[in-house]
Amino acid sequence: MPSSDYLLSLNPTPRHDAVSWILKVSELYHFRPVTACLAVNYLDRFLSSHSLPEQTGKGGGWPLQLLAVACVSVAAKMEETHVPLLLDLQVLEPRFVFEPRTIRRMELLLMAALRWRMRAITPFDFLDAASSVLPSAARRRCAELILETSRVVDFLGFPPSVIAGAAIVCAGREIGDSSSVDDADLLRFLGDSESVRGCRQLMEEYLIDTCPFLGGKPCSEPITPRSPSGVLDAAECGGCSSDKSSSSASQAEPPSKRRRIGHR
């Protein structure tokens, strides 16, 4: 997990943009959900211990974009059998296009910064362990909820086991199959039940029936974020429908004039 004081110095808007790009690229290439989860884990762990050069403007400038590309590339190499070329990985109209050698140098910097601990524990490890008691519909919904928690910084305070437990409870309630989530042995396996309840409430507050990406319904009621950083995440939720349509449009158009970044 990121360092305990990560949220104190975090600028949530550039992080949100980087995480959204990671999730969209992972969906575009049909990566496994754990690949996107790992990439976000790498991003947060790196930013919690290393600072990037200051850049102005939305998106954090080229350093954060380069880091996001490296995170996706390394995560894909850890989990996927087929990994796109580094140039092909830079899709969805990025502001900059990096040469492969530049990305490879960033990959080495990333792995060294994380002390080569790339096999991180994610909520999907606990979801896999509980798969025997989960119907397929609940498992798919759990994966969606786990990925969407990556966008909201308030979830960074919960360990992976708690996020997995909360997702299982929420998914079971949504699909009307509570028998698989009320088992006492399952809750004990997932960890502290009080923490699971707190995380579940946060999921219901931020993610369930409030975002078109998840519930298929428009945001109908304003949500009250629990932290100043969450205010920006909540604001992004209101525009996620238009963001999704704009991203689809950008995929249909070939990349035009973009600045190429080489050695630095």
Q: What is the pLDDT of residues 84-142, one digit of tens each?
A: 999 999 988 878 899 999 999 999 999 999 999 999 999 999 888 777 777 788 889 99
Q: What pLDDT does 112 receive?
A: 95
Assess whether 33 and 132 both reside in one domain.
Answer: no
Q: What is the CATH number of the domain that holds 78?
A: 1.10.472.10
Q: What pLDDT does 223 receive?
A: 40
**In contact, 161 and 126? CB cutoff 8 Å:** yes
pTM, full prediction: 0.73
- Compute the CA torsion angle 96, 97, 99, 104 (nearest 10 deg): 80
Assess whether 34 and 144 both reside in one domain.
Answer: no
Assess whether 92 and 140 both reside in one domain.
Answer: no
Assess whether 72 and 22 both reside in one domain.
Answer: yes
| Mean pLDDT value of segment 224-242 | 46
Domain span at 237 = 123-245
Report the Cα 68 to chain-centroid distance in Å: 11
Assess whether 127 and 184 both reside in one domain.
Answer: yes
Q: What pLDDT does 186 receive?
A: 54
Assess whether 172 and 223 both reside in one domain.
Answer: yes
Domain count, the chain: 2
| CA 217/CA 209 separation, integer angstroms | 6
Q: CA dist 14 to 52, 61, 175, 219, 248, Å?
A: 12, 9, 34, 23, 21
Q: What pLDDT does 6 receive?
A: 81
pLDDT at 252 over 50: no
Q: Which residues pair with 261 in a beta bridge?
A: 98
Assess whether 233 and 133 both reside in one domain.
Answer: yes
Q: What pLDDT does 107 receive?
A: 97
Q: What pLDDT does 206 receive?
A: 85
pLDDT at 169 over 80: yes
Contacts of 156 (CB under 8 A, 6+ apart): 1, 2, 6, 7, 44
Residue 257 lies inside a defined structural domain of this protein: no
pLDDT at 146 over 90: yes
Rounded to the nearest 5°, which phi and psi values hold at 103? -65, -40
pLDDT at 218 over 70: no
Read off the pLDDT band of 189 (50, 70, 90).
Answer: low
Q: What is the mean pLDDT of the chain?
A: 76
DSSP code per residue over 22-61: HHHHHHHTT--HHHHHHHHHHHHHHHHH-PPPP--STT-H
Assess whether 140 and 207 both reside in one domain.
Answer: yes
Q: Which stretch of DSSP H or E encloses residue 84?
A: none
Report the Cα 71 to chain-centroid distance in Å: 11
Assess whether 177 and 210 both reside in one domain.
Answer: yes
Q: Letter for the amino acid at 40? A: V
Determine the number of helices (DSSP H) and then strands (DSSP E) in the chain.
Answer: 13, 2
Read off the pLDDT band of 50 (50, 70, 90).
Answer: confident
Of 73-87, 89-103, 174-188, the range with the highest mean pLDDT is: 73-87
Please state, as a whole number, how many other Cβ atoms lie within 10 Å of the Cβ of residue 84. 17
Of 29, 33, 47, nearest in space to 153 by CA:
47
Among the residue ranges 3-7, 18-22, 41-45, the one predicted with the least confidence is 3-7
